[in-house]
Structure 1
């Protein structure tokens, strides 16, 4: 998994019920942080950037991953669009250029 970037494009995991989708996303990050192998980076785009705010229960687990040294990257265009820069609880503002650079070097899995 160390050669993998995980792209999160929604504040929910899967399609369908949003409450279930939010719980699934939190569950994913709960299990990911317990894994021995970590991804190269987590990149959040579109409404996925809301997972980096207190609006999402997943943010607690994502912050733990960030504190362990996993790069947590938030799309600047998306953060600006939603006006949530001051609400981010962890991670760094990034760009599509960085996502492209990561995609050239690593496998990208989209949630």
Structure 2
């Protein structure tokens, strides 16, 4: 088996998570989080639509982690983001973190917002 090192350039991958926290690019963040090319910051959850709308110029798709289990996004949230021209994919937070890391390693324009598990 051959292993290849992944290079993320300036982007910060999700390195770990646990009950109530995420570790992104060496930084531990408690509670909901956004990871994007512009940096890592806390997020106010589904009601904080403005923070996600601010990502439309940096990302072609936003992965939204809904916690430990997959859940539907509020329709208003999905509609506002899609109307702004960005793709939205909802999945469990662990799946969102993995998908984000893979596409980040490919140099894709992605952002991530996650609720803790």
When normalised by structure 2's length, the TM-score is: 0.37
Could you state the TM-score of these two structures normalised by the residue count of structure 1?
A: 0.38
Q: Which has the larger radius of gyration?
A: 2
As a proportion of its length, which structure holds more strand?
2
Higher helix share: 1
